[in-house]
């Protein structure tokens, strides 16, 4: 298991995984306190050097506003492309023919022999919330994706729970997730180089881990993308996947 201290800050990902991972606008529902809170203007940003008052409703909104307005990084983190630089064809979009999709039990046979299979039985702190979706090109699995609930009460998960999507593809070079440079870190997951994206603050905003693993001339990419979870939670999840 990778120690949290192994993540190195380098400053301050291409998959569209789901609407619940947006950092834009005001607040995500899972992070909002119970009851009706007064609205916070989308132009309010944190006072420099101030400590956030987490007892106040919507205390995190100014931090989301500031993150939204910061320039988004495009380049390489630990040898992995992130941001606009990663928009080249990867996964299903790289298939020269029309890819086919198998869902749930339909995918069991092909995934039983695929290196891209997600070993969900080894993952702690999450529970599958969707069927596995496998994308094939010319009969070969080129991408696998599944959604999970991150369980409340687990270290690194928002008190109200969170969500994680795991995507694995063949030949991927990175992810076009958009985030300021200050949220990106370099790390190692399961012995492989990784680019790690921290949430905006605490467990608020998108977090992610992008891992590139190589076997001979073959490169596989794994993206763990979360909402309501810390980057350290995703790193631990990635380590469990590669065990």
Does the residue 23 lie in any domain? yes
Q: Is residue 229 domain-resident?
A: yes
> Is the model more confident about 2 or about 227?
227
| Domain contains 223 | yes
Measured between alpha carbons, how far apart are the two ends of the chain, in Å? 9
Q: pLDDT tens across 46-99, in order?
A: 988 889 999 998 999 999 999 999 999 999 999 999 998 887 545 666 788 889
The residue that leads in pLDDT, 63 or 217, is: 63
pTM exceeds 0.85, yes or no: no
> Which pLDDT score is estimated for 141?
92
> Which burial class, exposed, middle or buried, applies to 5 when counting CB atoms under 10 A from its CB (0-12, 13-18, 19+)?
exposed
Is residue 152 assigned to a domain?
Answer: yes
Is 44 within a domain?
no
Q: Say what the pLDDT of residue 37 is.
A: 61
Query: Is residue 26, in this structure, part of any structural domain at all?
Result: yes
DSSP-assigned states of every residue in 17-74 = --GGG---SS--GGGSPSS------TT--PPTTPPP-TTSTTTTHHHHHHHHHSPPP-
The total of other beta-carbon atoms located within 10 Å of residue 35's CB is: 6
Q: Are strands 80-82 and 184-189 parallel, antiparallel or unpaired?
A: unpaired
When mean pLDDT is compared across 4-8, 38-42, 114-118, 147-151, the lowest value belongs to 4-8
Q: Which two tokens stand for residue 104?
A: 């749930």
Which tens digits make up the pLDDT trace of 102-160? Answer: 999 999 999 998 989 998 777 999 999 999 999 999 889 999 999 999 999 999 999 99
Number of domains comprising the chain: 1
Q: How confident is the model at residue 26 (pLDDT cuts 50, 70, 90)?
A: very low
On whether residue 189 sits in a domain, the answer given is yes
* Host domain of residue 126: 4-31+56-242
Task: Decide if 170 is inside a domain.
Answer: yes
Neighbour-count burial of 144, counting CB atoms closer than 10 A to its CB (0-12 exposed, 13-18 middle, 19+ buried): buried
Q: What's the pLDDT score for residue 28?
A: 43
């Amino acid at each position: 298991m990778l120690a949290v201290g192994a993540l190195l800050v380098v400053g301050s990902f291409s998959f569209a995984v789901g609407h619940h991972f947006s950092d834009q606008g005001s607040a995500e529902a899972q992070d909002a306190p119970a009851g009706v809170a007064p609205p916070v203007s989308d132009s309010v940003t944190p006072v420099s050097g101030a400590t956030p008052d987490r007892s106040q409703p919507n205390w995190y909104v100014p931090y989301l506003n500031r993150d939204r307005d910061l320039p988004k990084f495009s380049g390489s983190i630990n040898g992995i492309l992130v941001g606009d630089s990663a928009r080249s064809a990867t996964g299903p979009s790289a298939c020269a023919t029309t890819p086919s999709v198998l869902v749930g039990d339909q995918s069991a046979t092909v995934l039983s022999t695929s290196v891209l299979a997600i070993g969900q039985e080894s993952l702690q702190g999450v529970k599958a919330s969707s069927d596995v979706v496998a994308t094939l090109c010319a009969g070969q699995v080129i991408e696998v994706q599944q959604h999970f609930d991150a369980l409340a009460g687990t270290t690194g998960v928002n008190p109200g729970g969170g969500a994680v999507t795991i995507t694995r593809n063949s030949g991927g070079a990175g992810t076009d997730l958009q985030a300021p440079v200050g949220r990106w870190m370099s790390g190692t997951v399961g012995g492989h180089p990784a680019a790690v994206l921290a949430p905006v603050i605490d467990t608020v905003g998108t977090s992610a881990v992008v891992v590139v693993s190589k076997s001979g001339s073959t490169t596989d990419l794994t993206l763990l993308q979360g909402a309501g979870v810390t980057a350290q939670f995703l790193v631990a999840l990635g380590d469990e996947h590669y065990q």
